[in-house]
Amino acid sequence: LPLALVTGAAGGIGSATVRRFLNGGFLVAAVDRDAARLREVFGENPDVLPLEVDLDSTEAIHQACATILETHGAPRTVVNNAAAWYYTDSTVAAPEQWRHTLSVNVVAPAALAWELIPAMLCVPGASIVNVSSRNAFSSSPRSAAYDASKAALVALTRTLAVEFGPRGLRVNAVCPGVVDTAANSREMADPEWVANYLKLIPLDRFAKSEDIANAIFFLASEEAAFITGHTLMVDGGQSSGQNFGRIFDMKNS
C-alpha cells in the first residue's frame, strides 16, 4: 500500500483526513502528540500507524521520520495539518506563544520536508499538502501569531513547489474557513453567533471535517497531477465576497 503521513491526526480535520486516505487505499502514519487519543480514534486498525510526536521538537520529528523511512519507506503524501493557535491580544501575546505557534505551524512542516523530500523524490506521484487557513488572507483580531504562521505556510508551499516541481514533487495547500469541529464547539453552541456568522458564508453552512479531507485528498491524488504551488480556499465562498443584504437583513437579498 502507498503510505500517507498526516499530522494532527487525532483531531477533527486530521482524523477525517486519515479516514479519507484509508478509504483511498493508503497505509497511514497518524502523527499526533496525544497517543491516547490516537488509540481512541483509530483503535487497532492495522492500516493506521500511530506515532506520538511533539512537532515542537525538530529532534522528535527527525526520529519519527527515520523510523518511518526505515520501517515503511518514503510516503507518497505528507499532510501537514497540525496547528497551534493562541487567541490573545497582539500587544500582550507572550514570546513563547509566538515561538510555539511558528514552531508547530511553520518549522514543523519545513522539518518534515527536509527529512522526507529526498526519499519522496523517488516515489512516483509524491506530493505534500499543507493545511493553512483562510486567515492567511483575511485576518482576525487577537490571532496575530496564528495568522502570520499560516501566511508563512502558504509561502513555504509556493517555494517548495517551485524548487521541487522539476523533480516531480507537487506541493499545494488548502485554506479552510470555519469548520464544525470540537475546537470550535464553544462558538457552535451559541445560536446567535452561528446565525450571524452564517450570513458571511454564501453556502450557508460551516465546513465539515470531511469537506476539508476531500479537498486534501484531491490535491494529493493523480487527478490533480498538473496542480502545484496552488492554494485552494475551502470556505464555502466566504472569501469571494459578501452579500450585504444577508448581513444587514435587507429585503430582496
Residue 197 among the catalytic residues = no
- Helix (DSSP H) and strand (DSSP E) numbers for the chain: 10, 7
DSSP 3: E
Q: Which of helix, strand or coil describes residue 175?
A: strand
Return the beta strands (E) in 13-119 as ranges: 27-32, 48-52, 77-80
Dihedral sign computed on CA atoms, order 209, 215, 219, 222: positive
Please name the residue that has the C-alpha cell 452579500.
243
CB 90, CB 148: distance < 8 Å: no
Looking at 86, 87, 146, 197, which residue is catalytic? 146
Please name the residue that has the C-alpha cell 497540525.
82
Active site residues: 146
